[in-house]
Amino acid sequence: MSNAIDLDLQHNDPSFANVWQELQWRGLVHVSTDEAALERSLAEEKVTYYCGFDPTAASLHLGHLVQLLLMRRLQLAGHHPIGLVGGSTGLIGDPRQSSERVLNPRETVAQWVDLLRAQVERFLSFEGENRAVMVNNLDWTSQLSAIDFLRDIGKHFRVGTMIKKDIVAKRLNSEEGISYTEFSYQILQGLDYLNLYRDHGCTLQTGGSDQWGNLTSGTDLIRKVEGVSVHAVGTPLITNSDGTKFGKSEGNAVWLDPELTSPYAFYQFWLNTADADVVDRLKVFTFKTRAEIEELARSVEEEPYKRQAQKVLAWEVNSLVHGEEATEKAIAASAAVFGRGELTELDAETLDSVARELPGASVSSGALQVADLLVATGLSESKSAARRTLKEGGAYVNNEKVVGEDAELGPGQLLHGRWALLRRGKKHLAAVTVEA
């Protein structure tokens, strides 16, 4: 990833009296502790808050982006953020709905801690009076003995309460059950909050609503040990209007790391947002004002064919995550692929991203008939169908119409000596990668 994103934003949308009201309008509050007290605290004080990210993979994904942008909104409103990367909780993993997690090697988790920390840091400012702080919970849990952990922390947790937590209850009723390791995860997260309260005066934790049981383990622990009421906010799980899980496409996560999800693919993901979902996405994932979003909502209603809201969404989120330069390249690639720009002007990295996103085929160099390539890429069902398309003038190579049923793809037509984009008609696209 590139360097930290530009944090020079004004958080003064006149539509809202305070940041809590804005969070509610944006649909970012699904559940919370004492709402009135929390709104009052955010309006009258400079609150220290934290969100934790476990290194269970080499990158954060779209679900984490909700939390990163929530942290940024609160910091822009003057509050003090703490980004936590779970070097210890990442060694265990929070309970999943389906089954036990596979425990990753310590060395792998340590590497992932560094990667995730760099991603989190890009969304926070480390300058000024409310500069951010980064922590690793391995720093305090590694110093605890098992006896100290059980005596000083474990004694404050009641098993009856712990097994009522939603995810724990579901796992207990499943065939696989739940191990003591994952069952204990909520105690470790509670310890994190207690430690941050003691060391930094942290009084607010944010996370997804599916983590509510873990969030409240910390508020309960601090109340029992310190006699103080602190807060937690659970954001809603983002789903599409048809009920499908947001950010998943055929089981693949949309990652923030450009090596795992390219800026081009990332841009296309947002550009393809359904009309029914785009306004909600603008609220959650951009810093557009209420007035700006309401104007875009009108464009969805009155001129949906222009897809103006989707274009703004794709630009804003891609620029936040990957920077404006990468976004401009993604837009240029998107235009060129559909014949509205020059494919020859795209760099090799961008073309590689495009090729990986399109249906395609890898072929060996040599005499390559376009008809065979149409079949290999799935653009035509058979050689005869491909030849018919060529005869009718419906085939294109790199946006140039192909003439002749026996037309060949020559070396001079390859982009960067390796790729060619095929098109049948106006919308059916595929990529050919020629291996030396």
Residues 140-152 pLDDT 10s = 999 999 999 999 9
Q: Residues at the annotated binding site for L-tyrosine? A: 50, 185, 189
**Residue 128: pLDDT over 60:** yes
Condensed to tens digits (0 to 9), the pLDDT of residues 130-185 reads 999 999 999 999 999 999 999 999 999 898 888 888 888 888 888 788 888 888 88
> Rounded to an integer, what distance in angstroms lies between the CA atom of residue 50 and that of residue 186?
16
Written as six digits, the tokens of 304 are 């949906």
Q: Which DSSP state fits 30? A: S
> Rounded to an integer, what distance in angstroms lies between the CA atom of residue 181 and that of residue 160?
17
**pTM of the full predicted structure?**
0.90
Q: What's the pLDDT at 1?
A: 43
Q: What's the pLDDT at 249?
A: 61
Q: What's the pLDDT at 9?
A: 52
Domains along the chain with CATH numbers:
19-237 (3.40.50.620), 238-345 (1.10.240.10), 358-435 (3.10.290.10)
> Rounded to an integer, what distance in angstroms lies between the CA atom of residue 194 and that of residue 360?
53
Q: What's the pLDDT at 270?
A: 97
3-state DSSP call for residue 370? helix
Q: How confident is the model at residue 2 (pLDDT cuts 50, 70, 90)?
A: very low
Written as six digits, the tokens of 56 are 């269970």
Q: How confident is the model at residue 11 (pLDDT cuts 50, 70, 90)?
A: low
Q: Which residues pair with 69 in a beta bridge?
A: none
Closest CA to 281 of 257, 263, 300: 300
Q: Residues at the annotated binding site? A: 50, 185, 189, 248
> Rounded to an integer, what distance in angstroms lies between the CA atom of residue 317 and that of residue 345?
24
Closest CA to 337 of 398, 288, 296, 412: 398
Distance of CA 270 to the CA centre of its chain: 11
What Cα–Cα distance (Å) separates residue 383 from each residue in 20, 153, 287? Answer: 62, 70, 51
Q: Residues at the annotated binding site for ATP? A: 248
